[in-house]
Amino acid sequence: MDAPPAAYAIDRACGEHDQPDIPHMSLESFLIALANPWPGQAFERYFGYLDGEPVGHLELGLPLMDNLDNVYVGLNVLPSARRHGVGRALLDLAVERARTLGRRHLQGSTVLRHPDGPAFARVVGAAPGLEETRSRLDVRTVDQARLDAMLADAWQHAGGYRLILWTGVPADEIIDDVAYLDSRFNADAPIGDLALEPEKVDAEKIREAEQRRVQTGRTTYHAGMLHGDRLVAWTTLVGLQAEPAHAWQSITLVDRAHRGHRLGILIKLANLAQIRQLQPGVEVIDTYNAGANEHMLRINVAMGFREVDASIEWQLTL
Ligand SMILES: CC(C)(COP(=O)(O)OP(=O)(O)OC[C@H]1O[C@@H](n2cnc3c(N)ncnc32)[C@H](O)[C@@H]1OP(=O)(O)O)[C@@H](O)C(=O)NCCC(=O)NCCS
Residue whose CA lies nearest to ligand 1 atom number 35: 83
CA of 83 to the centre of ligand 1 (A): 6
Question: What average pLDDT does the chain have?
Answer: 94
Residue whose CA lies nearest to ligand 1 atom number 34: 83
Q: Are residues 240 and 112 both part of a single domain?
A: no
Provide the percentage of residues in the chain whose pLDDT is more than 70: 100
Q: Does residue 11 carry a pLDDT above 90?
A: yes
CA of 314 to the centre of ligand 1 (A): 14
Residue 1: band (very low, low, confident or very high) from pLDDT cuts 50, 70, 90: confident
- Does 70 reside within a domain? yes
- Does 117 reside within a domain? yes
Q: Does residue 292 carry a pLDDT above 90?
A: no
CA of 77 to the centre of ligand 1 (A): 8
Q: Are residues 188 and 277 both part of a single domain?
A: yes
Q: Are residues 106 and 141 both part of a single domain?
A: no
Q: Are residues 112 and 161 both part of a single domain?
A: no
Q: Are residues 67 and 93 both part of a single domain?
A: yes
Identify the pLDDT of residue 294. 83
Domain holding 205, by residue range, is 134-310
- Does 184 reside within a domain? yes
Examine the fold and report which residue of 67, 92, 125 is the final residue of a domain before the chain moves on.
125
CA of 318 to the centre of ligand 1 (A): 20
| Mean pLDDT value across residues 214-229 | 95
Q: Are residues 120 and 163 both part of a single domain?
A: no
CA of 20 to the centre of ligand 1 (A): 19
Counting the structural domains of the chain, the total is: 2
Question: The domain spanning residue 104 has which CATH number?
Answer: 3.40.630.30
Identify the pLDDT of residue 189. 75
Which of 53, 58, 71, 83 maximizes ligand 1 atoms within 8 Å of its Cβ, making it the mutation to test the pocket?
83
- Does 9 reside within a domain? yes
Q: Are residues 201 and 289 both part of a single domain?
A: yes
Q: Are residues 160 and 303 both part of a single domain?
A: yes
Residue whose CA lies nearest to ligand 1 atom number 23: 116
Please write the tens of the pLDDT for every residue from 124-176. 999 999 999 999 999 999 999 999 999 999 999 999 999 999 999 999 999 99
Identify the pLDDT of residue 192. 87
- Does 317 reside within a domain? no
Distance, in Å, from the CA atom of 268 to the CA atom of 222, rounded to the nearest integer, reads 9
Which of 45, 120, 313 maximizes ligand 1 atoms within 8 Å of its Cβ, making it the mutation to test the pocket?
120
Ligand 1 atom closest to 48 (CA): 7
Q: Are residues 37 and 154 both part of a single domain?
A: no
Q: Are residues 183 and 40 both part of a single domain?
A: no
- Does 315 reside within a domain? no
Q: Are residues 195 and 264 both part of a single domain?
A: yes
Examine the fold and report which residue of 125, 145, 171 is the final residue of a domain before the chain moves on.
125
CA of 82 to the centre of ligand 1 (A): 6
Identify the pLDDT of residue 191. 86
- Does 13 reside within a domain? yes
CA of 60 to the centre of ligand 1 (A): 18
Identify the pLDDT of residue 296. 86
Please write the tens of the pLDDT for every residue from 243-276. 999 999 999 999 999 999 999 999 999 999 999 9
- Does 318 reside within a domain? no
Provide the percentage of residues in the chain whose pLDDT is more than 90: 85
Distance, in Å, from the CA atom of 115 to the CA atom of 7, rounded to the nearest integer, reads 23
Q: Are residues 162 and 94 both part of a single domain?
A: no
- Write the secondary structure of the chain as one string of H (helix), E (strand) and C (coil): CCHHHHHHHHHHHHHHHHCCCCCCCCHHHHHHHHHCCCCCEEEEEEEEEECCEEEEEEEEEEECCCCCCEEEEEEEECHHHCCCCHHHHHHHHHHHHHHHHCCCEEEEEEECCCCHHHHHHHHCCCEEEEEEEEEEEEHHHCCHHHHHHHHHHHHCCCCCEEEEEEECCCCHHHHHHHHHHHHCHHHHCCCCCCCCCCCCCCHHHHHHHHHHHHHCCEEEEEEEEEECCEEEEEEEEEEECCEEEEEEEEEEEECHHHCCCCHHHHHHHHHHHHHHHHCCCCCEEEEEEECCCHHHHHHHHHHCCEEEEEEEEEEEEC
Which of 116, 124, 130 maximizes ligand 1 atoms within 8 Å of its Cβ, making it the mutation to test the pocket?
116
Examine the fold and report which residue of 101, 125, 149 is the final residue of a domain before the chain moves on.
125
Ligand 1 atom closest to 83 (CA): 11
